[in-house]
Every structure is written in C-alpha cells, then in structure tokens.
Chains A and B, each alone.
Chain A
Amino acid sequence: MPEIIFSMNGMPTTVSQGTTLLEAARSRGIEVPTLCYDPRLTPSGKCRLCVVEVEGWGRLLPACVTPGEAGIHVWTDSERVHRSRRVILELHWSEYPEEAQAGDVLGRCELTTLTETYRIARAWTPSGLRPRGRDHRHPLIGIDLGKCIGCGRCEQACREIAVCDVLAMVGRGAAAHVATAFDREMKAAGCVACGACVSVCPTGALFDIQSPRVPEAEVRATRTICPYCGVGCAMNVYTHRDRIVWVTGSEDGPANRGSLCVKGRYGFEYATHPDRLTTPLIRREGLSRVLPEGVDPRGLFREATWDEALDLVASRLRTLIARYGSNALGILGSAKCTNEDNYVLQRFARAALGTNNIDHCARLCHSSSVSAMGLAFGHGAMTNAPQEIPEADVIFILGHNTSENHPVIAGAIKRTVRAKAARLIVMDPRRTELSLLADVHLRPGGGTDLAVLNGLAYVILEEELANERFIRERTEGFEAFRSSLVEYTPGRVKELSGVSPEDLRRAARLYATAPSAMMFHGMGMTQHTTGTDKVLAICNLAMLMGHIGRPATGVNPLRGQNNVQGASDVGVLPDVFPGYRTVTDDAVRAELEQRWGRRLPQAPGLTVVEMVNAASHGSLKGMVLMGENPMVSDPDLNHVREALSLLEFMVSQEIFLTETAAMADVVLPASSHFEKDGTTTNTERRVQWQTPVLPPPGQARRDWAILCDLSTRLGYPMVFADTAAVTRTIAHETPIYRGILPERLGPAGIQWPSWTPDHPGTPLLHRTRFTRGLGKFHPVSFRPAAELPDSEYPLLLNTGRVLEQWHTRSMTGRIPGLNLLAPEALLEIHPGDASPLGIETGRRVAVSSRRGTVVARAVVTERTPPGSVFLSFHFAEAAANVLTNAALDPSSRIPEYKVCAVRVTPAD
C-alpha cells in the first residue's frame, strides 16, 4: 500500500493508504473515544463519538469509517468535535438507567468510563422509548435491555464472528435494542452460546449469568489454553479467591483470536466442583469391582495417605510383573493431560514397567488418520493450519460436524463462506449446519464414503482434471491406483452409496478446479473398520490434484481432545517412542535405552480395545489409567465392564471418581487442566504453553509428579525439577520437538516440526517434498461396514457429539449451565422411520443392538437420513457405546463407532 501524508492536530502524519483516521489517531496515541467501534468488527460509524473535523469538508466525519487522504488537515480536538462528543455522551448517559449496575462481571463499562473521563452529566430528558427488563431465560447469557445502548456490536459479533445470525438491533430510533427473532429464548432462536456478543458488549447489557460480579481489583487474570477440543484456543481466566469466575478469549491466541465456544467460555466450574478428588483412595477390602446399581461409589473407598497409596500401587504392580511379566500390564494415557504428563507416563510404562502396552484415546478417534497419512505422506498430522481457511477457494469437509465439534474453526469456515471467498463441499450422511450452506452436500449411506472418495478420483481422471505434473514429480504408485479405480463409475458409486452422479461430478469438479482446496476430515471418516482406507483415499485425492503442501491446501484431520496430537507426539502409543520413532527401530531404541538407562521392550504393544480384549481373555492382569474413562468412551461397554472386572489390579489417576475410576483398586487425585503448567499440542501441531490458574485442591498432585514418585518406588527414579525440565527433556529426545523449549513458547507457540533449538516451526507440511520423500498412492477398495441393518435390527446407528457436552461428561456434566442446554441424550430419527413406530419428538425410546439396550428421548428430524438414527455418546445413562460394535480397522485398530445395527421401540 502506498503511503500518504496528512496533518492531524497540526502534526504531519504518514499512514498507508486506506488507513482510517481512527486507526491513524490511535496509532499516534491520540485519544478518540468510541462506543460502537471494536477492532474485531466491521466499523459501523454508528455512535459518532469518534467524529473529527476535516478542514473544508463541511460536516464532521466519523473517524472509524473515514480513510485518510493526502494533504487534508484533521482535527480530533476542535471545539466542534468536543461539542459533538460531549452532547452524544450526554444523550447516552441521560438514557442510561440510573439504577443500573454498570458493566460486565468486573464492573467495567465503557460508557461509564467515558462519562467519567469527559465529566458528563445526565443533561437531557430521556426519550422514554428504550425498553427495560432483564431476560434470564437462557442459562448462560442474560440480556439487560435497560443497559443496551444500541451500539450494535453484539449483532455484528453474532454475524461476523460467530456467524449465527441470532441477534439483531430491532426497533426504530431510540427504541432500537438487541433482540432475538420474535424475542424468543436465545437457544430457541438458534444461539450456540459462544458468548461473542457478551465479549463485545461495552456496557454489560449482555452478560454471563453464571458469573458473580466481583471487584476488578480482587481478580487475577491468567492466560492459558482451553481444556476442551483440539483447536487450542487461548483464553483469559479470571480467578477470585481460588475460584474461576469468568473466562474470555485471548485476542493473541493464534488459533482463536478472541473467539471461544460455549464449553470454553462457560465450562470451567468443574475444576472447583465439590466432586473433585482431594485425597488418595483405596478400595475397601473384598468389594467387587463392578458397582451395584444405585450405590454411591465413594462408599467403596477409604481415604489414604499418598505414601500408603503409592506403596500399595508399587507393590501390586511389582507382584503382577513378577508373576505374569511386564506385558500383563496395560497403561492408558490421556489426551486431556499435558505433553509432560504423557511423556513421563510412556517412559514410566516402557522404562519402569517394561511394556509397550500403552495407548490412549487417540486410538479411538484418529489412529486411522495417523496410520494412513503416515503411509501416504510420512506424517499423520494436519498439513495446514486453520488460520489459512480465509485463503481457501474450496473447503471440503468430510465426515465432520465442525459446528459442534470444533466450533471456533467452524466460525472461520462460515466467515469465509459468507464472504463468498470459498465454495464448500460437505460429505456427511447427516445434515449438519455446514451442509446446509454447502455448494454440494454428498450424503453417502453409513460407511460407504470410500466408494464416493474413489468415485471422485474416477471422475477427476475421466474428465482429465488430474495434476499430472504433480503426480509425475512428487508421487509414486499412481498406475496401480489408477487401475484400481475402474469399477468406481458414477453409476456404480450411486448403487453403493446413494450419492447421485450429478453431485459426485459437481463435487469432483469443484475440488479439482480450485486453485486452493483445504480438506478437513473427522471421525465420520476414521471411526470405521475401513477408517485407514478412507483416509488413504482422501490422501489419494489430494495427491491426484497436487492439493497438498501449499497454503490453504492440504489434508487436515481435525483432532478431538485438547492434547490428542501431543499425547501421540510424545509416544503414548504402543508402537512408537516420542516423535513417532518406531519401537522396532534398533538404532532408536539403542539411543533411548542409553538416555533412559533401561532395556526397552522391542515388540509393539496392545492398543486400547486390544487391552480390553486381553483383559477379558485373562492375558492382561493390571491397568494403570491416567485420566481415561473407557467405561463410557469405549465401544461395547458391557464387554468393557466385564473385562475390567477381571483385572487383578487397576489404578486410576483422576480428578473425579468417574465410571472407570470407580472400578479401580486405588484412585490417585490428580490436577485439572486449570492447575497445570506445561505444553499441549493442538490440532494444527501448535505447541502452546499453559499457565496454572488455580492451586490443586486438597492433596491432589500433578500427574507427572505422581508418576515420577511411583516410578521411583518401583526402582526407576525419575526426577524433574519442574514441568519445564520435562519439556526440555522431551525437546532433547524428540527430533520434531527439538526447538520446543519453554522459553521459546510465546503467545503464538510453535508448530512442529521444529528441528533445531532455534527452528521457527513449520506451519505447512510437505511443501517441496513429502516427509517420506515421494507421496504414495494406495489403491483402496470399498468394503461395507462390519454390521449393517437387517430385519432384526433394521436401523443404522451413527454416533457423535453435541456442542454443549464433552466426551464422557466428567467435566461438562458438572456444569449446570451446560446441562440445562443439553440435559440428556437425544436419539435423532427421521420422520419416515419415526411415524410407523409411533414415535414423536419427546417420546422415550429404547434403542437396542446385539450388545445392549439404552433408553433415550427421541427427536424426530430430517437431520438424520431415512433408515438411520443418531445418538450422542456423552451420557452414561444412555451410553451409545453400550450399542456400538467393537469391530476394528485391521491396520489402525480403531473401532467402528459410526455404524452398527439397532432397533428402536417406544419405551413407555
């Protein structure tokens, strides 16, 4: 941009062309008040507090929407400007109810501050037109109409940041105020409670209902990372006397730029919930591991000292090893814990216990992505960062309900689509929010995505759209792949999947002809017995077009947990050490044996579901669990319960007495996310440092510290001075994390690989060469799901998450506001399937599979396709995983959560 010079308050001012007068003034420290302006939003020029005088231009001009022009003379403090500013503030202040308690949770009110700064009086007669009243109908977000100054920032935030279109300024003139459609309750009006409106409100007219008002002086704000999904939003957590009172998004968070979703903004109360474990617990003698119905699990345990509990654990583990060998133990890490916790856990498993039987819930979400992308590209991680979304020409979402699972990324996608900057393709059997906005919505029947993916490749080749140069120069295995596609004609794909040839061709052309195309995939692709093949097919498509290794162009598995990427990176997997170096590689093993001072097991260990199976067969005797809750999260729960009950010993490090912890012999109280420092790695491989905001309750301790203590008692001392020392150790031992050093982790974090201590990180993978050298095409052929509907179980069950709940609800289940928004499991059923069964919305229904039965409330909706029902898996009382099939993908060992056969009947 060329620069221009003009004079501001008599001073020559140089700015780039297009800079507004407000930006120019503020960048020079000139005070210009505003009420409607927010740097995150399109300037509206509404409040007119920022008016300035430009010589010879007649009327005053709102600085926020007036670009500077060369040679003009601008005055921000002339008498006319002061008069307008004062009168407008007087008018606002006169309308503002005197009895109102001004401001947000901390009592901060931009209007009040301005009236104090400019010594403003209530000088005018109020219009009497402004509506009054407080709306408390939504459990989290309240509206105080009397305090609404009509600035419109909330409406803009709802449209421009959240892209939800729930709020608007309604009414004319002085009566204009924020409202929902027909003044409906916010959720009924479509609000997803992201709180963007609250975060921009200058007066607290929109407010967080559950946050008490606290004096700003007594509040401490700490920047940390959100505990929920893999987006890795930075947040400011406000604490008051060791309680979290409020959370806002951090503007400097690279992944979220101030945005949060309902869980991030409102899901913090679990950390200080009275259910938190505060002391080690030991199971009372002679009690069965299986909890009888209706018994308070706390009664099964007695309190113990740390020494007693840890000694007990150490001696029992030692006994099991002595009796059955190290591989009779299984260790589960947690994608909710930090890299440091998980690093210490896997080293504990391998060096102290001597087994590779270590895994975590990444197995259950993206193990198929990790294995497929490893095979095709060499790295099993997102090739791009979501920050590139605005640059994409085509966004292709595969098997992922972004709006409910990664809401902040969905916001970026929606903003890009609304700006008409990108076309959208969605492949999902369900209607999702994004599918309603898509240019093409491909709705394959459950588990038939692979036919569609191969069909897309077929069309691209048939229409000669493929990027031959890329195929020639950057890939191998193309010919075998090409010949594998012959049978995937559009007609055949329709037979297999139900997707029409027209939609298939439209999607193929859109994707193929886009200058930049970003694919995002989720569990709709991965949680299948063909999960690995599906992700391979995605990689094939990307390589066919050369749609990889460029900005806003690549293959992106959206990771679920806040640290699922990191837990995998640091080796909480049965076949790899930290940094994905395989346990079978002698050189690597030798290097680590030297560093860790122990012989390390050579054979890859068991995966999550295999551990459960081994337990049920009696070959696995003991388990160490760190923050995992397989009793809700694993497939075929009745089988899991049975298997765990056969264990001889089970220890769980937890923050709550979860369904799984209640079965343990010893429960060790650990720290919640808000009590930890250390690093987590988000879905875009960005390693971010987090800061504790609370002390751990009672005797609860850091996970890595507990493990070090236990390890020492087992004769393998692990000692770290502090968390940063663990971080440095990981960096030292892990090539891709070499530059991930605590002192280097500023607000932006670092995206791995960071190969040297001064390497800046790698936002974009596979730029000029793939990690494995050449990209490799893999021919993959369609196989149906392991269990399909039949006459006995005529409906196909799909499972997934809902926006307001998290996983097994051990966190969100303890947050009243979230539970009011999503109180129970809902079975979505298509009207065509519901009416013959006499099922209406609200009716309780029994859902049965070959493995069990649960009862849930029905919602009759076209969201789910005919012949298919959908149930969220969060709720232990209607656990979808009682129903799901534990059939595994042969290469990644991921279970087929997304397809099984069920029968639905009215329950009352």
Chain B
Amino acid sequence: MRCSQIHSFNIPVTPPDLSALSGEEKARLLRLVERWQNEPAALLTMILEIQEIWGYLPERAFEYVASALKVPLVDLFAIREFYDLLHGAPVPARIGLCTNTPCAVRGGGRVAKLLSEALAKHPDVGLHLEELPCQGCCDLAPVAVLPVDRRPETRDRSVTVRLTTRTASRFARAIEGGESDLFSRLKSPVSGPSTGGRVRLTPTRVAYRNLHRPEAHRLDVFRAHGGYATLERVLRTSSPEDVIAAITDSGLLGAGGAGFPTGRKWGAVRKAPGDQKFIVVNADEGEPGTFKDRPILERDPHLLIEGAAIAAYAVGTTQGFIYLRGEYRLARERLDCALAEARGAGFLGGRIAGTPFSLELHLRLGAGSYAAGDETAMLESLEGRPALPRVKPPYPSDHGLFGRPTLVNNVETLAAVPAILERGPAWYRGLGRNGSAGVKVYCLSGDVTRPGNYELPRGLTARELIFTHGGSARRKTPLKAFLVGGASGGFLPPGELDIPLEIASLRAKGADLGSGAVVVVGAQSCLLYLARRETRFFAKESCGACDPCRLGTPALLGELDGLLDVRTRARAEARIQELGAVLADSSRCGLGQVAANPVLSVLRHFPDEIAAHTAGRCPAGVCGRGPRRA
C-alpha cells in the first residue's frame, strides 16, 4: 500500500525534465517525494508539503510526482482543482475573512464590506480579500487571517485574529490613507499561533479531562496525571470484546455529527472479515460553528492517541491515520510531536506496553474541503483523490480505506474513551440528562457573552446552555433564534429554548445536534441573510459526487430572491420546499441532504421574518431593505 493505490497507465517513458527548477527547489522536491512515496495514504500530505516549496504547485513538480509515484497526472490536476488549500499559481497577499454564521452574527459581513470597498478603491495596496471557510475558532468571531507581514519569504505565515467592525474601519481608513503597515494598527499584537477554541471549564471531565492543566500536551505532564495508564491496563487485562462491551454499555455516541452508537460501530469493524483493518481519526473539524476538537488536538494530543490506541486494539487493527484539517497548524505540530513522543515511550509502534499489540498511527493532512468531513469522502481523500463521498452501503466498517474494514471516529469520541474505561460505563451513562447518556462538548458562539466550548450533559436544554453557561445574549439584544448543529442544523425560535439538546428531540424540530455547535442569533441579525449565506456555503462546498446536490444547491440559492417579492413569494416557497425535499431524498451524503435546512427552518419557524422582507423591510436592517444599510 503506497501513497496512492492508483497505478497509472499513462506514464511518461522518459522522466520529466527538472532542469528549470533551481538546485534547492529540486533537492527539496526530490527529498519530499523520497520521504513520502512509500508512506501509506500520504499523497495529499506530500502535495501540501511540496506546495510549501513554491507557495503553489507548478506543473513541472506535478509531472515529477506523477512519474515517480505512477499516479495519473490528471488525478493530480483534479486534486489541485478540488482542494481550497492547493494553488496552481502564486497566491497574492491577502486578508482572509470568515463570514460563516458565527462570524456573520458578530458583524463579519460588515467587516468584509468595509474592507472590500476600501481595497477596491485602492488596488495599489496589493492586498486581496478572501472568503474563508470556518476556521474553528468561532469564539473569536468575527475571525480574520492576516499575513504576519508582507515579505515573500513569510508568505506561509499568518495569524488568526478577531477583526471587529471597529478595527476593520480603522483598516479601511488606513488603506484609504495609503498607509503601508496595516497590521500595526491591530489593537493588541498577536503572539503565539494558538488562537481560539476557548474552553470554558465545567465540572465534567471526560474528553476535556486534562484541559484545565497547563502544558498537558507534554508527555510527562500527561503521564503524571494518569495518561496512558488506561491503555496499559486495557491491553494487559481486557479483551477487545470487553472493551467494546464497556463502550456499548456507556452509551457513547459519535461526536462528529451523525451520533451513531460508538460501541456498535466498533463491534461491526471487529466482526468484519479481513486481515488488515484501519482506524481513521476524523480530525477534519470543518462544520461552521464547531471548534471543539481543536483544544484536544492542540493541548491534549496524547489523550487522543490513547483513545485511538484503545479503539484500534478493540477493533483489531495495527494501522491508523489521523486526518487533520490542513488549516490547524498548531495541532499539526503538537500531534507530530506527540506521536513521536508516544512512539519513543512505547505507546505506539511494536509491542505496546510490552503486550503483543502494536499500532502505527500516521498523521495525514486535509487540504481544504468541507465535504471531506463525510467519513467516506475522507477515506477517498486519504487514498489521494478528491473528497467525494462514496455510495453507501458498503459502509466503512466493511469496506473502508483501501477497501478494508475501517473504523472512523471523531476526535472527541476517541478522547472520551479513556475516561469511560477508567471510571466505568455506568458513570459515563449517568452523566447524561433527560434520558440521554453521557456528555457532549457544545461549541457556543454568536451573540453570547461567554462563547466557547462547554463539556456538559447530553440532554441539557438549550436555555441552560445559552443562558446559564453562555451568559445573557450579547449587548442586551433579545435572542432572535439559535442554530444547533452548525451549517447543516436549522434555526430554532426562542420558543424552543427548552428543547433538550439531544438527537431525537432536535430532529423532530427539523434541526440536528450535529457536531454540537450552538450559535446564538441576536435581534440585529437577519435570518434570511444568514440562510442565504449558508445556502451559498453549501453550493460552494458541494463536491460534485451527485447531481441533486451539485446542481440543486446553486439552484436553491437562485430561488431565495423570490421570497422578497410578494408576487413571487408563495411560488418561491413552494419551489424551495420541493427542491429541499429532493435534496433530502436523493443526495448522496449529508451535505446535500441537509443543504436546504437553514432556509427551510426559517420558512418554518420565522414566517414573520419572511413576511417583513416581503413587505420591503429587513427587521435587522442588514439586507438593504430596512432603515440601516450595512
């Protein structure tokens, strides 16, 4: 199993000429190909590292990779064109802005407008605006990614900051004043790459058990507090069946979005026939409004490794991959380091803790695709292809990575495993509320005073999370709506605040717990604007693997204007309902199936908001229909 399983039949007989490259570029390229070419599932990771040589991917480099790895050149081209983080040409200096719902609620749209107007008037500044996917630090909203400075040699270095409308206005004035050093105007200089993903401590200590400790990412600190002890005990005293039984009894559910019972998944992979199985850790945190895995990855990577090792032992595999979001640079460094430490200390590699069990766990990078969050799309990506979800069934538990039985689990899910095995399934089960078992990390963002990650009981009500933990709504504006489950969830009205945050209740209301994102929307936000934004997001991220989603998401966007006119509203509503039903009925993966949820939830729960727009008025004044234009 090499970098990619594709074996091209379209290989140049004479290897490509690299004479156009400088000596150093050529040496780096050859070194990277040598380093990665026999590593499993490493094509995309290798390409990302090759891109660092030039800041983009020249054809010549791709020709060399294709020839060395016997990968079809057209596949490399398709990969480059698919992933947002891969570039075919030098990338100009830019300001990246997130305008996803959590950021939009906090004025991200106005920030974008201010800057784009200023830059349009002064193209000589040489900065471009780029719309970013959710950066996984919504507690900082509105989020911007800025270059550390303007030197070409630091083009890969950037900082993630909160960029409020006030700062943006100052930037805009500076741009118009012809100032060159924009970033000195930031209120506080940004230091350290760790930004966002703030953890709000709760009494619960499961997946977030170590995050109150400083320096928990270090192996010595981790071990000093019982780290890897559970793994050692499990390997020495428990059978895989015991482990699976305990996880099943605990009621642990997948924390990535689908909420599938973890024990059942493990059991299915364990039972699937096959001498080679895989575990894949889904660390591709990309659902807008979700930033719960980031603190684990950055500050407690050993806990994830411990959980993954236990899972690998339980399902019977010796090979694993962590598929990490390409944007998470600190997480990458910390994981690289933690994996090396764990290997050095004998918690990875051969004969772990002196038992016959061994596990190789490899870090692999995503390259910018929301669709890759789907587990089968992630497997495609690991195999070195565009992240297009596969037809299911077969499910990964039978036919996963390279066609072998594969366990795919979310970071939070695996991080919860050591605590559960340490304190027992009954303890974990008992942590739940309102009939639910266990806990969940909720990512609270938007118009609240205390945004951040909260590890709290499953089944707790939205009201409790938002008001008791999150503090009152920001700026004393009344709460207009709340969004549960990220972009794929739906907007719920204040009347639903007492809904328990658990899967069945939410689904009954046309929403979903999803990855645990809860975005609070205050009165100064326009729901139609937000719904449009989310629809646009789906149209942009739709991968193309099935036609209803590929063609239906842009078509849905095209229908939204119809809601604004009294003469077309009824018809537009009917068409949106119909298209939404087809998307849900016929799309291949979750993305398309839920793509109409934001719009449909607004139609369902906020008829007044629509009516006001139809009457020519945006209640929040952001659509250009109200008194205040933004």
Binding site for B on A (CB under 8 A): 35-36, 44-49, 51, 59-60, 62, 65, 80, 83-84, 87-88, 91-92, 94-95, 124-129, 150, 163-176, 179-182, 189-190, 414, 418, 431, 433, 436-437, 831, 860-863
**Which residues of B423-450 are within 8 A (CB) of A?**
none
Q: For A46, A49, A189, which residue has the most chain B Cβ atoms within 10 angstroms? A: A46
Partner of B547, one of A91, A126, A179: A91
A95 and B546 contact, CB distance less than 8 A: no
A166 and B74 contact, CB distance less than 8 A: yes
CB contacts (< 8 Å) of B541 on chain A: these are: 172-173
User: In the complex, what residue of chain B is closest to A47 when comparing beta carbons?
Assistant: B547
B77 and A59 contact, CB distance less than 8 A: no
Q: Show 12 residue pairs from A and B whose CB-CB distance is below 8 angstroms, ordered by the A residue.
A: A36-B547, A48-B586, A59-B584, A83-B585, A84-B548, A87-B582, A91-B555, A125-B558, A165-B9, A181-B72, A418-B7, A863-B13
Nearest CB of B to A129, in Å:
6
CB contacts (< 8 Å) of A174 on chain B: these are: 539, 542, 544, 550-551, 553-554
CB contacts (< 8 Å) of B11 on chain A: these are: 433, 436
Instruction: Answer whether A164 and B77 are a contact pair too, CB < 8 Å, given A59-B584, A60-B585, A150-B544.
Output: no
B13 and A59 contact, CB distance less than 8 A: no
Instruction: Answer whether A88 and B586 are a contact pair too, CB < 8 Å, given A165-B72, A180-B74, A181-B74.
Output: yes
Nearest CB of A to B587, in Å:
8
B548 and A88 contact, CB distance less than 8 A: yes
B59 and A182 contact, CB distance less than 8 A: yes
CB contacts (< 8 Å) of A171 on chain B: these are: 81-82, 544
Tally of B interface residues using CB under 8 Å:
51
Shortest beta-carbon contacts, A-B, top 9: A125-B558, A127-B554, A165-B72, A176-B544, A173-B542, A91-B551, A181-B73, A124-B555, A190-B10
B585 and A170 contact, CB distance less than 8 A: no
CB contacts (< 8 Å) of B59 on chain A: these are: 182
Nearest CB of A to B600, in Å:
15
A189 and B74 contact, CB distance less than 8 A: yes
**Which residues of B60-105 are within 8 A (CB) of A?**
62, 70, 72-78, 81-82
CB contacts (< 8 Å) of B73 on chain A: these are: 181-182, 189-190
Partner of B550, one of A126, A163, A168, A176: A176
Interface contacts beyond A165-B9, A172-B542, A861-B13: sample of 14 additional A-B pairs, CB < 8 Å, sorted by A: A49-B547, A83-B585, A87-B579, A124-B551, A165-B8, A170-B74, A171-B81, A173-B541, A174-B539, A174-B544, A175-B544, A181-B73, A433-B9, A862-B13
CB contacts (< 8 Å) of B7 on chain A: these are: 418, 437
B544 and A172 contact, CB distance less than 8 A: yes
CB contacts (< 8 Å) of B62 on chain A: these are: 181-182
User: In the complex, what residue of chain B is closest to A167 when comparing beta carbons?
Assistant: B74
A129 and B544 contact, CB distance less than 8 A: no
Instruction: Answer whether A127 and B14 are a contact pair too, CB < 8 Å, given A88-B586, A165-B74.
Output: no
User: In the complex, what residue of chain A is closest to B8 when comparing beta carbons?
Assistant: A165
CB contacts (< 8 Å) of A863 on chain B: these are: 13-14
- Cα separation A860 to B584 with both chains bound (whole Å): 57
Q: Is B588 an interface residue (CB 8 A)?
A: yes
CB contacts (< 8 Å) of B581 on chain A: these are: 80, 83
CB contacts (< 8 Å) of A60 on chain B: these are: 585-586
A164 and B585 contact, CB distance less than 8 A: no
Interface code B546-584, partner A: CB below 8 Å = 1, 0 otherwise? 111111111100110000000000000000001101101
Instruction: Answer whether A95 and B551 are a contact pair too, CB < 8 Å, given A173-B543, A181-B74, A182-B77.
Output: yes
Binding site for A on B (CB under 8 A): 7-11, 13-15, 59, 62, 70, 72-78, 81-82, 386, 391, 539-555, 558-559, 578-579, 581-582, 584-588, 593
- Cα separation A166 to B546 with both chains bound (whole Å): 22
Instruction: Answer whether A59 and B585 are a contact pair too, CB < 8 Å, given A124-B558, A181-B77.
Output: yes
User: In the complex, what residue of chain A is closest to B544 when comparing beta carbons?
Assistant: A176
CB contacts (< 8 Å) of A190 on chain B: these are: 10, 73
User: In the complex, what residue of chain A is closest to B75 when comparing beta carbons?
Assistant: A168
Nearest CB of A to B20, in Å:
15
B540 and A125 contact, CB distance less than 8 A: no
CB contacts (< 8 Å) of A418 on chain B: these are: 7, 9
- Cα separation A172 to B386 with both chains bound (whole Å): 9
Instruction: Answer whether A172 and B586 are a contact pair too, CB < 8 Å, given A91-B555, A165-B9.
Output: no
User: In the complex, what residue of chain A is closest to B540 when comparing beta carbons?
Assistant: A173
Number of residue pairs spanning A and B whose beta carbons lie under 8 angstroms apart: 174
Q: For A60, A87, A169, which residue has the most chain B Cβ atoms within 10 angstroms? A: A87
Nearest CB of B to A182, in Å:
5
- Cα separation A165 to B75 with both chains bound (whole Å): 8
Partner of B78, one of A164, A170, A431: A170
CB contacts (< 8 Å) of A831 on chain B: these are: 14
B586 and A84 contact, CB distance less than 8 A: yes
B547 and A46 contact, CB distance less than 8 A: yes
User: In the complex, what residue of chain A is closest to B76 when comparing beta carbons?
Assistant: A181
Partner of A170, one of B13, B77, B558: B77
Partner of A92, one of B9, B551, B579, B586: B551
CB contacts (< 8 Å) of B78 on chain A: these are: 168-170, 179
CB contacts (< 8 Å) of A59 on chain B: these are: 584-586, 593
User: In the complex, what residue of chain A is closest to B385 when comparing beta carbons?
Assistant: A168
CB contacts (< 8 Å) of B74 on chain A: these are: 165-168, 170, 179-181, 189
- Cα separation A418 to B579 with both chains bound (whole Å): 40
- Cα separation A361 to B59 with both chains bound (whole Å): 46
CB contacts (< 8 Å) of A172 on chain B: these are: 81-82, 386, 540-544
- Cα separation A882 to B585 with both chains bound (whole Å): 69
Q: For B13, B546, B587, B588, which residue has the most chain A Cβ atoms within 10 angstroms? A: B13
Instruction: Answer whether A173 and B391 are a contact pair too, CB < 8 Å, given A87-B579, A414-B9.
Output: no
Q: For A49, A163, A182, which residue has the most chain B Cβ atoms within 10 angstroms? A: A182
B10 and A48 contact, CB distance less than 8 A: no
CB contacts (< 8 Å) of B588 on chain A: these are: 45, 48
- Cα separation A361 to B326 with both chains bound (whole Å): 62
Nearest CB of A to B68, in Å:
13
Nearest CB of A to B623, in Å:
19
User: In the complex, what residue of chain A is closest to B552 when comparing beta carbons?
Assistant: A91
CB contacts (< 8 Å) of B76 on chain A: these are: 181
- Cα separation A641 to B587 with both chains bound (whole Å): 70
Nearest CB of B to A752, in Å:
34
CB contacts (< 8 Å) of A45 on chain B: these are: 391, 546, 588
Partner of B544, one of A87, A95, A169: A169
User: In the complex, what residue of chain A is closest to B556 when comparing beta carbons?
Assistant: A124
B72 and A173 contact, CB distance less than 8 A: no
- Cα separation A169 to B386 with both chains bound (whole Å): 10
A127 and B555 contact, CB distance less than 8 A: yes
CB contacts (< 8 Å) of B550 on chain A: these are: 150, 173-174, 176
CB contacts (< 8 Å) of A36 on chain B: these are: 547
User: In the complex, what residue of chain B is closest to A189 when comparing beta carbons?
Assistant: B74
User: In the complex, what residue of chain B is closest to A420 when comparing beta carbons?
Assistant: B7
- Cα separation A168 to B81 with both chains bound (whole Å): 11
CB contacts (< 8 Å) of B587 on chain A: these are: 48
CB contacts (< 8 Å) of A436 on chain B: these are: 11, 13, 70
Instruction: Answer whether A163 and B9 are a contact pair too, CB < 8 Å, given A91-B552, A170-B77.
Output: yes
- Cα separation A36 to B549 with both chains bound (whole Å): 15
User: In the complex, what residue of chain A is closest to B63 when comparing beta carbons?
Assistant: A181
- Cα separation A189 to B12 with both chains bound (whole Å): 10
Instruction: Answer whether A127 and B543 are a contact pair too, CB < 8 Å, given A83-B578, A182-B77.
Output: no
CB contacts (< 8 Å) of A80 on chain B: these are: 581, 585
CB contacts (< 8 Å) of A125 on chain B: these are: 554-555, 558-559
Nearest CB of A to B247, in Å:
26
B586 and A129 contact, CB distance less than 8 A: no
Q: For B11, B541, B550, B559, which residue has the most chain A Cβ atoms within 10 angstroms? A: B550
CB contacts (< 8 Å) of A173 on chain B: these are: 539-544, 549-550, 553-554
User: In the complex, what residue of chain B is closest to A51 when comparing beta carbons?
Assistant: B586
Nearest CB of A to B393, in Å:
9
Nearest CB of A to B308, in Å:
30
Q: For B62, B554, B578, which residue has the most chain A Cβ atoms within 10 angstroms? A: B554
